[in-house]
Amino acid sequence: MSLKKIADMTGLSIATVSHAINGTRAVSRESRDLVEAAAKEIGYKPNIAARMLRTQKSGTIALIIPGSDANPNAGYFYMDVIMGIRRKMVESNHELIISSYDPQDGSERSLNALQILKKQWIDGIILVPSANSRGQIEVIRELGLPFVLLDRRDDDDECSCVDSDNEGGAREAVNLLAACGWKRIGFVGGNLATSTGRQRYNGYTAALAHQGKVYDESLVRICNGFSMLRGMECAAELLANKADALFVADNTMMLGAVRWLNEHGVAIPGQIGIVGYDDFEWMEMMNPPITTVKQKAHQMGYTAADMLFGKCSGEQSNEKIVLGTSLVIRKSHGTLR
Amino acid sequence: MSLKKIADMTGLSIATVSHAINGTRAVSRESRDLVEAAAKEIGYKPNIAARMLRTQKSGTIALIIPGSDANPNAGYFYMDVIMGIRRKMVESNHELIISSYDPQDGSERSLNALQILKKQWIDGIILVPSANSRGQIEVIRELGLPFVLLDRRDDDDECSCVDSDNEGGAREAVNLLAACGWKRIGFVGGNLATSTGRQRYNGYTAALAHQGKVYDESLVRICNGFSMLRGMECAAELLANKADALFVADNTMMLGAVRWLNEHGVAIPGQIGIVGYDDFEWMEMMNPPITTVKQKAHQMGYTAADMLFGKCSGEQSNEKIVLGTSLVIRKSHGTLR
DNA sequence: TTGTATGCGTTATCAC
DNA sequence: GTGATAACGCATACAA
């Protein structure tokens, strides 16, 4: 089951067989047929390990995401991303390894815990960094591997990123809420040390300014973990502070907020307007159907893989790609006036 | 960055260095310290390719699932499974490759399209087969790789499987519906050529029999693909056939059914009772909250990986593990009487 | 158009 | 306790 075997069968040399199979140099028609027949007969499969040892390329990339036992809903976003990456991988005959780190591990070099990085193994990395992105990027840089950041932006010119226009998405969401006549629009979002968290927050404040509203700290909650429980707490607190609308920039917390409101008989969108983040089919069927900011998760994965392969084949340029978002209008935001 | 480098640095032989690092034979305290220091200094990482070439083991397994561009919600179930597998992989320092096939490709040997199987690469496979499981299993068997089936059962003594007690889950669901007084309980499920589809169907018929109800074909819909649209169609048809309750054995179709019912002003659970399959947090927030059969997706993944590792290290025995399901009681089923 | 020969970094065998 | 060395299967520089 090796090139040598085929060489023996056909009477050709290993070199010719190798070239015939890989098309790496001219081979006579006759020899090629011979090789093909023999290969088919023994069911030849290239030995990746040997090839890898020679070429120093594995044809494998890793996706590193925050481990999401704690927040399954975030995981579902990544499922879409994974399918996008896979689409690209299939096109270029690569494999994908999934790895994850503990997002609660705030240490500078939390990625050092990843076994996958302790082996000489992968050609490149798609990373969704945590709040500690700088330390994580540093770890990867020391590895000397090409990488691209997914769902995060970093100003560092030396790195490529794909993410959504989180600020624009947030702005639209808040503007919509304002256009529905809500006066005291609250914000529930994630850690500002993360680009997604920061940008959504920025979008919120920008929209407030644009609407001529004053920023009221008591209407803002920045959370470190995303959980339904946290969403419920935030809803309770902001309501106590007389918020009449909520932009909840995470789908799990949105779920919690809606739950609390429903349980306490606060009518959505009768008494309060809600806009969420990320779009899933089930949002259509919620009580009420949730208006939300939709990201192109699948395309994000595809694009990241595409950029990474570019880097793997030597492209030097770094790109910052920003994917557009769109509002999915359902019911929870209220009614335009 | 190789054993040789460390050997040169320490003045020891490659063999000793190798053994010192792997602990595969006695090495003097002194030598070991030397090696460790040198390894740390140059940031030594074993070259997996070389090791793999020697040992014929990659430390990598593949998960092969039906590609789910078409049915994202099914994908979310696998996200939980993946996290379960990863938990086990971390424990045993392996890596996981995700691969998927086109579930619409009904050909006997649809797995032959998978690039990952065309390389000598992985130590074992966790497979979620399609309706064509026999052909797929045959392909894998010819590879001579250890494998376990996930979320599917196969009577073949020669293979290990982990799945849920789909029949029991379905039975409980239908019994619950009956206990609420519904008379004409319909069933919407998947392909009977798939063990999950067949078992849930069997559970439905068994429960009907147990309740002394006659099986009415006009209340049953077996679907090949899972989509919201299909769910809506089924709801419309079964309602036209005077169903007063629906057990929808797939979460995407359940979503479609609920959508249709809501849109047509059929009150759940006022006029019709609904029980779904699989449990997600968002089901709590639906209109109405959905009563459903919960599977242990995470544990299913963990168990499959555990069994596979057993096989990889030579265990011959084949197990059929069945994980229990549980009913998550919310509102959509109606009220017990 | 084809063949020869080398080395990638390990592990494992055998000898010391 | 240690060392020399063969072999794993492949790609490729060089030679013919």
Structure-token match 């690569």, residue found = A94
Closest alpha carbon to B3 in B26, B34, B35, B33: B35
C-beta of residue A161 within 8 angstroms of C-beta of residue A320: yes
Q: How confident is the model at residue B82 (pLDDT cuts 50, 70, 90)?
A: very high
Q: Once rounded to an integer, what is the mean pLDDT over residues A7-12?
A: 96
Given a cut of 80, whether residue B69 has pLDDT beyond it is no
Per-residue pLDDT at A56 exceeds 80: yes
Closest residue to D9 measured CA to C1′ = A50
Quote the percentage of chain B above a pLDDT of 70.
98
pLDDT digits (tens, 9 = 90+) for A98-122: 998 888 887 877 888 888 898 888 9
Asked if pLDDT for residue A83 goes beyond 80, the answer is yes
Q: Length of chain A, please?
A: 337
Specify whether the CB–CB gap between B299 and B150 falls below 8 A. no
- Does residue A245 carry a pLDDT above 90? yes
The set of residues with CB closer than 7 Å to nucleic strand C is A 11-16, 19, 25-28, 30-31, 50, 53-54; B 1-4, 14-15, 18, 21-22, 24, 44-47, 50-51, 53-55
Torsions phi, psi for A51 (to 5 deg): -60, -40
Residue B84 has pLDDT above 70, yes or no: yes
Distance separating alpha carbons of residues A163 and A150, to the nearest angstrom: 6
The answer on pLDDT for A180 being more than 70 is: yes
pLDDT score recorded for residue A121 = 86
pLDDT 10s digits, A191-227? 999 999 999 999 999 999 999 999 999 999 999 888 9
Rounded Cα gap, residues A219 and A189, in angstroms = 11
Query: Per the CB < 8 Å rule, is B287 touching A282?
Result: no
* Ramachandran quadrant class, B206 (left: phi over 0; alpha: psi -120 to 50; beta: rest): alpha
Q: What is the pLDDT of residue B19?
A: 96
Question: For testing the chain B interface, which of A80, A230, A252, A282 should be mutated: the one with the most B CBs within 10 Å?
Answer: A282
- Edge-to-edge strand order for the sheet containing A220-223? A220-223, A185-190, A245-248, A273-277, A291-294, A326-328
| CA A212 to centroid of chain Cα atoms | 34
* Mean per-residue pLDDT over chain B, rounded: 93
Name the residue with tokens 């629009």. A185
Which of B95, B97, B278 to mutate against chain A (most A CBs within 10 Å)?
B95
| A6 closest-nt by C1' vs CA | D9
Look at residue B76 in the predicted model and tell me its pLDDT. Answer: 85
pTM for this structure? 0.92
Question: Would you call B75 and A72 a contact, using CB atoms and an 8 Å cutoff?
Answer: no
What is the pLDDT averaged over residues A123-129?
A: 95
Nearest-by-Cβ selection for A228 from B69, B255, B281: B281
